[in-house]
Amino acid sequence: MKRITDIPNISSEMKVLYGKFIDSGSFVETLPHIDAFLDKYPYYREALIFKARALMALGRNNDALRCIKMAKRIDKFGLIGRFDEAEIYLQKKKKEQSIETYVDAVKSYATELKNGIDSYTLSCKSESRDRVKELTRQALTEFFLNDIENNPFEDLLTELGQIKDEMEFD
């Protein structure tokens, strides 16, 4: 097994790439940087999706869809880009395919979320599981009903922090 330091920090490089877009505010200016990044890391799924989003913003939906399909070929289980694909199909007037893709994206994210919560709570004491799930459900409900990005999760963090000793196995 390699050491952690032997693995390139591609996420850090990707953050720089996002910064280039934030600084310029222009996908036209950022697209060459995305292409250069992909020349270096052609199989980095997030960069392919970022390029797809840039191309969508520029009205190049066919090219964007091609990037998304490449990303799916690299990792068919990856979640990133699924909603973008549904949006492209809708813009291309392929409504049935758009709806199917959209529902599949919602289902995939929901399944990943449910499985993650279930897996996490299995590591908790049995008497804490229901409480952790309920607090999580409340945070998600608040998030969706009131469209508040961080407050429900800050509250969840605080509340779980208060019961952490009850959650942990000894």
Does residue 134 share a domain with residue 65?
no
170 has pLDDT over 60 = no
CATH number, residue 64 = 1.25.40.10
User: What per-residue confidence (pLDDT) applies to 29?
Assistant: 94
Return the percentage of the chain with pLDDT > 90, whole number: 74
The predicted-structure confidence for 6-15, as pLDDT tens digits, reads as follows 888 999 999 9
In a domain, 118, yes or no: yes
Same domain? For 40 and 101 the reply is yes
162 in the same domain as 97: no
pLDDT tens for each residue of 67-115: 999 999 999 999 999 999 999 999 999 999 999 999 999 999 999 999 9
First to last CA, the chain: 31
Residue 147 has pLDDT above 60, yes or no: yes
Q: Is residue 4 part of a domain?
A: no
In this prediction, residue 169 carries a pLDDT of 58
Helix (H, G, I), strand (E, B) or coil at 112: helix
CA distance 99 to 77: 19
Q: Say if residue 116 is in the same domain as residue 149.
A: no
- For residues 42 and 21, give the distance between their C-alpha atoms in angstroms, rounded to a whole number: 19
Please tell me whether residues 136 and 118 are part of one structural domain. Answer: no
Question: Any residues with CB less than 8 A from the CB of 88 and at least 6 apart, and which?
Answer: 56, 61, 64, 65, 68, 98
Mean pLDDT of the chain: 92
55 sits in which H/E element:
helix 45-57
Whether the model pTM is above 0.85: no
Look at the chain and report how many structural domains it folds into. 2
- Give 42's DSSP letter: T
* Residue 22 in tokens: 């934030």
- 91, part of any domain: yes
Domain of 132, in residue numbers? 123-170
Based on the fold, state whether residues 138 and 115 are members of the same structural domain: no
Tell whether 147 and 163 lie within a shared domain. Answer: yes
